[in-house]
Amino acid sequence: MSDVWNKSARKATDEGVVNVRMPYENGRIFAFAVLQEFDRSERFIQDIMADLDSRHSLSSADRSLALDVAAGVVRRGRTLDVVIQSRITRPRHKVEPDLWRVLRIGAYQLLFSRTPDHAAVDSTVGLCRLIDRPRWTGFVNGVLRGIGRLLSDEPATEPSPFTLPTSAGQWRSLNEAILPDPRFERTDYFADAFSLPQALAERWTSRLTETELVAACFHSIDPPEITLRINSMRANRDAVLQSLLDAGCKASAGRIDGSIHLEQSPRLETLPGYAEGLWSVQDEAAMSASLLLAPQAGETILDLCAAPGGKTTHLAELSNDKATIVACDVANGRLQRIRDNASRLQLTSIQPMVIPKDGRDLPAGPFDAVLVDVPCSNTGVLNRRPEARWRFDMNGLNELVVLQTRLLLQACELVRPGGRVVYSTCSMEPEENRGVVDAVLQARKDFHLERENQHRPGLPADGAYQALLIRS
C-alpha cells in the first residue's frame, strides 16, 4: 500500500472552516484544537498544548485524555487512516479535513484507548456538535460503528492481514483483512500497522531481526514510560520510592541504580520531591551517556549541545557538583531550561553559554571531557516524540549526518590529550551512529574508540547510541 500519511496529507487543512469555541469544554475538544493547530503548523504537540493551556480550566483527567488522544492520533495517524478508509467509499481527499480529524479522534479511542466503545462513538458524535458541525453526526456515527464491527474478540499473537498491534506487545483481531499480508508485503504491513513512514519501514525491515523489529515497532507506538533519575546528592532511591508510594503513585525501582519507574502519567510537579530537587525525569538509556563519560570532581567538562539539560544536570550530580560544566546551546531560551533545572536541583557547577549556530566562537578549552549529544532523527524515541516519525526522510538524515560529523570533530578539537569524548544520539540509524564515529576516527588518528553502547528501542528502554572516544 502506498504511503497514505505523506506530507501532502499532513498539510491538508481547511483554514477558517471550524473555529473551536473557548474555553474548551472537555478533553476531546481540546485534543481537536491541538490536532488542528498541529496540522496547520507542524509544531510539537507538547508546545501546542502548553500554549493552549491558558484557554481552559479542564480537570487533570480531561487534560490527560486530551494529551493521550492528540499524541496518539499523531503517533498512529497512518494506521487510523487505513482503518477509516476501509469503512468509507469516498476517497480521503473528498472528506473535509476537520471531519477526517474528528474521525481519527473517534477511531483512536475505539482502537487504542481504554474508552468503552459506546462512549468513544457517543463522545465523538457529540464533538461534532461542540464544533458546530451537527451535519456530520450521522456520517461519523456510521463510520465509527463500522469500525466497531470490524473488531473481533478472537485472540491474536502475531502479524497478519487480520491483526492490528495495540500496545505492550498485544495484537487485536479484525473480522476483515484490511492490512497487507506480512508474508509477501512485509514492509507495507509494518508501515501501515505501526504507522511508520515508508522510508523508515523499508530501513527497519531490511536490517533488523524479527525480535528487534517487533520490539522497536511496539516501542514506537506505546505511550512513553516515565522514569525518574534520583539526585544522588540530595536523596536515595528507597526513600524517594517510599514517598511516591505513600502518595498513591504506582512506582517501582528501575533497572539502573538510582532510577524509578512510574506506571502513570501524573503532573510531575505535584509529586513528592519535585520542588525539593530530589529527582529529574530521564530515560535509562539517556542516563547511560553521562555514566559513560564518568565525570570527576575537579574536571572541566563541556556539554556541547546541552539543552534541555537532562544530561547536563546528571553530569553535575555524578561529579558531586564539584566539576566545572560549560553547557552550550544556540538559543538563550533553551539554556533557560537548564538554569531552571539546575536551580531546582540545587546545582551550582553548571555554566550556561550561548554559541552561534555555525559553530564559531566555541569555548576555548582544552577540556578534560566533552559530551556531544547531537541533534538527530529521534528514531529511538518515536514514542516520546510522535511528530518525529513524519519528519523522517533520507535528505534530512543526510543533512543530520553532516552536522553530527562537524560537531564531533569540534568536540575532538576541544578535549585535551588523554581526555575523553562521548558522542550520543537517540537514533538507531547506523549512519548517525557508528557511521559518524568511523568517519571522525578516520580523520582523527589521535583518537580511538574505547567503548560503545547500542540501546535498541523496547529492549528494554529507549533507543540510543553512545560512543566513548579517548584522545591519545
User: Could you give the 3-state DSSP secondary structure of residue 424?
Assistant: strand
Side-by-side strand order, sheet with 367-373: 350-354, 324-329, 300-303, 367-373, 415-425, 464-471, 447-455
In the predicted model, what is the mean pLDDT of residues 352-380?
93
The CATH code that applies to domain 1-151 is 1.10.940.10
Residue 322 has pLDDT above 80, yes or no: yes
Higher pLDDT, 455 or 53: 455
- Check residue 14 and give its pLDDT: 42
pLDDT above 70: percentage of residues in the chain: 95
Does residue 4 have a pLDDT over 50? no
Compute the average pLDDT of residues 218-239.
94
Domain with CATH 3.40.50.150 in the chain: 284-471
Whether 21 has a pLDDT exceeding 80, the answer reads no
CA distance 303 to 174: 50
Average of pLDDT values for 93-99?
95
The answer on pLDDT for 10 being more than 50 is no
Average pLDDT of the chain is: 92
pLDDT at position 267 is: 76
Give the model's pLDDT for residue 9: 42
pLDDT band at 47 (very low <50, low <70, confident <90, very high): confident
Instruction: Report pLDDT for 22.
Output: 59
Per-residue pLDDT, averaged over 311-323, amounts to 98
Q: Give the three-class secondary structure for 450.
A: strand
Instruction: Yes or no: say if 168 and 214 are a contact pair by the CB < 8 Å rule.
Output: no
Nearest to 216 by CA among 28, 438, 380: 380
d(CA 165, CA 394): 27
Superfamily name with CATH number, domain 226-281: Sun protein; domain 3 (3.30.70.1170)
Q: What angle do CA 291, 294, 295 make, to 5 degrees?
A: 125
Decide: 400 and 376 in contact? Cβ < 8 Å: yes
Q: What is the pLDDT of residue 12?
A: 42
CB 186 within 8 Å of CB 203: no
Does 134 have pLDDT greater than 60? yes
Q: Return the number of other C-beta atoms located less than 10 Å from residue 116's C-beta.
A: 12
Q: What is the mean pLDDT of residues 159-185?
A: 96
Are 222 and 166 in contact, with CB atoms under 8 Å apart? no
pLDDT at 321: 98
Which of 168, 170, 160 lies closest to 190 in space, CA to CA?
160
Q: What is the pLDDT of residues 251-283, one digit of tens each?
A: 999 999 999 999 876 778 889 999 999 999 999
Q: List where CATH 1.10.940.10 sits in the chain.
A: 1-151
Q: In this predicted structure, what is the pLDDT of residue 349?
A: 98
Of 18-32, 230-244, 258-272, 300-314, the one with minimum mean pLDDT is 18-32
**Grid cell of 344 as nine digits:** 531546582
Write out the residue limits of the CATH 3.30.70.1170 domain(s) in the chain.
226-281
pLDDT of residue 23: 64
Q: Look up the CATH number of domain 284-471.
A: 3.40.50.150
Q: What angle do CA 143, 194, 198 make, to 5 degrees?
A: 105
Cis peptide before 308 (omega within 30 of 0): yes
- Say if residue 17's pLDDT is above 80: no
Mean of the pLDDT values across residues 299-316? 96
Q: What is the pLDDT of residue 46?
A: 86
Q: Are 317 and 233 in contact (CB under 8 A)?
A: yes
The per-residue pLDDT for range 331-340, each reduced to its tens digit, is 888 899 999 9
Which residues, 6+ apart, have CB-to-CB distance to 428 below 8 Å? 216, 379, 380, 454, 456, 457, 463, 465
Average pLDDT in the 353-378 region?
Answer: 92
pLDDT over 60 (residue 2):
no
